[in-house]
């Protein structure tokens, strides 16, 4: 269950970080380091050591950065879908980009969910 919890924590912190980046796009120099510091700091790891059973956080710690990475495409997917309104040629490129973005986002999310929920899949990856 620690794997699922760390993935959820990464998704939450990643979502907050992406929202912060979207708000700070006009003044990234002031807001960017604070947002990155909050997302990548060791506070999440201290939180995990405090609330997870002993020994489970060390095995599942890699799910936190995976959750951070999975949150990013979900927040930028609507912008990709709205991108490219124009001529018929642009519409074709737009549909191809939109289709690839949707397929990629769903595939990354499915892989992360499988990694966190299915112990056999984690064991199979560890053997590779």
- Mean pLDDT, rounded, for 106-128: 83
Quick check: 106 pLDDT over 70?
yes
Q: How far is residue 32's CA from residue 48's CA, in Å, rounded to a whole number?
A: 25
Q: How far is residue 100's CA from residue 106's CA, in Å, rounded to a whole number?
A: 10
Q: How far is residue 20's CA from residue 40's CA, in Å, rounded to a whole number?
A: 14
Percent of the chain with pLDDT over 70: 72
pLDDT attached to residue 30: 66
**What is the sign of the dihedral through the CA atoms of 46, 52, 57 and 60?**
negative
The residue with greater pLDDT, 115 or 50, is 115
**What is the sign of the dihedral through the CA atoms of 120, 126, 52 and 11?**
negative
Question: 32-84 pLDDT, tens per residue?
Answer: 677 777 667 766 777 777 776 676 666 777 788 888 889 888 888 887 777 65
Q: Which residues contact 63 (CB under 8 A, 6 or more apart)?
A: 2, 3, 4, 6, 7, 10, 112, 115, 116
pLDDT attached to residue 1: 72
Average pLDDT over all residues of the chain: 77
pLDDT attached to residue 60: 74
pLDDT attached to residue 81: 75
Q: How far is residue 80's CA from residue 114's CA, in Å, rounded to a whole number?
A: 26
Confidence of residue 128 (pLDDT cuts 50, 70, 90): low
């Amino acid at each position: 269950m620690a794997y699922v919890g760390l993935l959820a924590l990464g998704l939450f912190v990643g979502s907050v970080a992406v929202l912060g980046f979207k708000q700070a796009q006009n003044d990234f120099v002031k807001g960017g380091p604070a947002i990155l510091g909050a997302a990548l700091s060791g506070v999440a790891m201290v939180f995990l050591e405090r609330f997870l059973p002993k020994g489970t956080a060390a095995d599942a710690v890699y799910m936190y950065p995976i959750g951070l990475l999975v949150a990013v495409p979900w927040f930028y997917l609507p912008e990709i879908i709205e991108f490219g309104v124009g001529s018929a040629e642009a519409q074709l490129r737009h549909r191809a980009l939109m289709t690839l973005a949707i397929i990629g986002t769903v595939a990354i999310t499915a892989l992360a969910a499988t990694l966190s929920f299915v112990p056999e899949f984690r064991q199979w990856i560890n053997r590779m």
